Structure 1
Amino acid sequence: MAVLKGINGLQVQILSPKDSYKEEYHDTDKEQSDNVATQYIEAESGQEFHIEWHFQPAFPFKDNHIRSSVHLDGKEVDNIICDTKRLQRWEGYRTVLSGARFKKNGKWYELPFSFADLNIDEDNHGLNDTGLKEKVSCLGEISVRLWRIEKTGESKSSTNQPSFKSLKTVPEKALKGRAVSQQAQYVNTYLVVLKEREIADLLQSLGDERVVADVSVSHVRYINPYDKPFAVFNFRYRSRSGLEALGLIAALEDRPIESLSNEELRELVKRQQEQLKATSQVKTEVKIKREREDDDGAERKIKRQDRSRTSEDVETVDLTEV
C-alpha cells in the first residue's frame, strides 16, 4: 500500500477486478519525499482497475473537506470530494472510484478504468508531432492528488463526457528506452452499448452501461494552492517483463518452479515456447544460408576446374627455331 512519510492515516491503493490489492514495488534507488509516494505495479492489458482511498482515524485533516483528483497518463479524468462528516467517523472512511463518471440524459454513468496495449511504431512515424513529447512523458502512470478545500456552493453538474483519448501509436524513439508497453484508459461502455451490441459483447465483463448513483458537484476554494497538493500518490504501471527489466522483480526463469502461481507458470511456458520458436527460426535461416554458401562454393570450384582443364588441353606450337 502507498503511504506517505509526512502524513499519517492516509492510504491509496490500486485494486484489480477481484477487489484484490495490486502488489506494489518500490524503486530503492529513488528517495521518497514526505508528501509524495511513488510505487510500481504490474498491469495486465485488458484488465480493469479501481482506486481506493482509506482515511484512518489518525488522518490529521479531518476538519477539512478533501478533494482528490485522478490523472491517467497525465490527464485528469475525474475527482472526488470527501466531506468532514465521513472523515470524522471513528472507524475511518474508505471510498473507491472505478471509472470516469459523467451525466447523460439525466442519469450518471461510469466509464470503467482499464489497462490497454500500447502500439509502438518501430519506423517512428510521427516522431515530431506537436505535443507528443509531453504525452509520452506521462505514459505509464496513475497519479492521485489531494487538497484541503472549502465548499462555497453547489454547482450544476456537467453533461459532458470526459475528454480523454488514448494514444493509438507511439514512435519507438519517443519512449527513449523506457520500459513502457501499456497505457491506461476508460472504456466508453455507454456509447458502445448504444451503437453496437456485438462490440459490447467483446467487452465481456463490462456488460451493459454502468449506471451509478447521482453525483453532487460543488464549487470549492482551495486551502492548499492548486499547484501544491498536500499529498500525491503515483502508481507507475508496467508489464511483468517491464518490471523485470527495471530489476524490481525476479525473472520467472530465475525463480523456483514451486514458487510460481498457475498464471506465472503459464507465462513461463509461453515464454519458453516463444524462445524455442525464435531459436528454431534462426537455425533454419542459418541452415539455408550455409546451403546457399555451399552451393556457391561448389559452383566456383567447378568453374576453376573447367578453367584449369581448358588451359591444359590447349596445343602450343614453338616457332623459335623455324
Structure 2
Amino acid sequence: MAPHPLFPNLEASVLVDNRPVDELYDHEDANLQTKIVYIESEAGEQFGVRYYIPGYLFEHYSIKAIVSIDGVDMRKFIFEKRNYDYYGVSRHIYASSAKAGRNFMGQRFRFASLDTHDERSAIEHELQEQLAHTGTISIAFHKVTNVRMAAAWKDVPSMYQYDKVPEKALKGSSVSHKTTLDPPERIAPVKFMEADYVDGEGRPFAVIEFRYRSAAALKSLAILPRSSSPAPVKDVVSEEEVKKIYLKQEEAETRKRNRADDDGDDGDVEMVNKRPAKRRCFPTSNDEVIELD
C-alpha cells in the first residue's frame, strides 16, 4: 500500500482481482500533503480502492474520506471519532453508491482505453473539465465535526460519457486510459451521513493520488524502464558459426606458437648452400664475334 509521507500508517492501494497493483513512485516532494503514485493500467480491468486510517488520527476529530475517480466523487465515508480512535478503520471500495427507489445501487469501476480522433471539432466545456482529471484516482481525508444523519439522499455519481476525444485536447498529456462504470447492480444498504468541515470543504489534511497509465505511457515518462532493442539479425551468430570461429582462433594460436619456437631454437645451425649468381661475361680477343644485321 502507498503510505502518506506526513502521517505514518495512513495508506491506500488500488486493487485488480483483489490484489494490489504494483506502485511506481514518482519523485515528489515528501513534504507535500498530496502523495502521488503511478500505477500501470490495462483496458478492461475492473478495479477497486482500499485505504486504512490509523487510530491516532481520530484523537481530536472525526474523519471524512472521499474517493474520486477522474475528478468525480464516487464514495464518501464519515468515520466518527468515538468508534475508531483505537484500532482505526479500513475500507474497500469497488463501486459507486446511490439509492434508486427503495434499493441501493452501485456501478463497478473499470479501466478503458482513451481513444482520440484528429478532427478539429470544438471541445465541450464539460468534457474539458473532466479530461483535466482523467487518469487519476484520489482519496482525500478531511477533519470533520458535528456528524449527523443526512437530510437528503445524495445524487447518483455521473461521468461525462464519450467514445473519442479530439487529439488536441490531450496535447502534452500522458493520459492513456479513462474509467467507465459498469451497469448498475444492487449493493448492501448504505447509511447516508453528513458533517461540518473543520478546515473547509476544499482543504483535506492529506491526499493519496494514483495516476493510472499504460505501460507505454509510463515508459515515455521514464517511470518504467524502456525495453532494450533486439539485436540485429546480422549480429546473431549460429552455434555452427561459433565453432568455426573458435577453430580458426585455435589454428592462429598454434601457428603463432610454432613461429615462436622456431625463432628461439638454440640447437645446431645448418648452413644452406646458395645457388651462385650468374656472372655477366664479355668477349675476349680470342673469341669470334659475329655481327647480326
Whether contact under 8 Å (1:11, 1:54) holds in the other structure is: yes
Q: Which amino acid in structure 2 is aligned with residue 93 of structure 1?
A: V
1-structure distance, mates of 2:125, 2:193: 35
CA-to-aligned-CA distance 1:254-300 (integer Å, 9 cap, x gap): 69xxxxxxxxxxxxxxxxxxxxxxxxxxxxxxxxxxxxxxxxxxxxx
SS in 1 for 2:216: helix
Equivalent position of 2:174 in the other structure: 179
Q: Which runs of 5+ in 2 are unaligned?
A: 231-293
SS in 1 for 2:97: strand
Q: Percent identity?
A: 24
**Do structure 1's residue 88 and structure 2's residue 88 form an aligned pair?**
no
Q: Which has the larger radius of gyration?
A: 2
- How far does residue 62 in structure 1 lie from its aligned partner after superposition? 4.2
**Do structure 1's residue 122 and structure 2's residue 118 form an aligned pair?**
yes
Q: What CA RMSD, in Å, does the superposition of the two structures yield over aligned residues?
A: 2.2
Equivalent position of 2:94 in the other structure: 98
Q: TM-score, normalised by structure 1?
A: 0.65
Q: 1:7-46, aligned counterparts within 5 Å?
A: 7-16=7-16, 18-28=17-27, 30-46=28-44
2-structure distance, mates of 1:159, 1:26: 34
Whether contact under 8 Å (1:104, 1:159) holds in the other structure is: no
1-structure distance, mates of 2:12, 2:50: 6
Q: 1:207-222, aligned counterparts within 5 Å?
A: 209=185, 211-222=186-197
- How far does residue 153 in structure 1 lie from its aligned partner after superposition? 2.5
Equivalent position of 2:73 in the other structure: 76
2-structure distance, mates of 1:131, 1:216: 31
Count of residues in correspondence between the two structures: 230
Q: Which amino acid in structure 2 is aligned with residue 102 of structure 1?
A: A
Q: Which amino acid in structure 2 is aligned with residue 224 of structure 1?
A: D
Whether contact under 8 Å (2:118, 2:166) holds in the other structure is: yes
1:250 aligned residue (204, 225, 238): 225
Whether contact under 8 Å (1:152, 1:218) holds in the other structure is: yes
2-structure distance, mates of 1:43, 1:114: 10
2-structure distance, mates of 1:5, 1:23: 18
Whether contact under 8 Å (1:166, 1:183) holds in the other structure is: no
Equivalent position of 2:214 in the other structure: 239
Question: Which structure has more helix as a fraction of its residues?
Answer: 1
CA-to-aligned-CA distance 1:52-82 (integer Å, 9 cap, x gap): 111234x333442211112211222221122
CA-to-aligned-CA distance 1:104-141 (integer Å, 9 cap, x gap): 121212111111111211234334x3344433221211
Q: Which amino acid in structure 1 is aligned with residue 10 of structure 2?
A: L
2-structure distance, mates of 1:144, 1:254: 39
Q: TM-score, normalised by structure 2?
A: 0.71
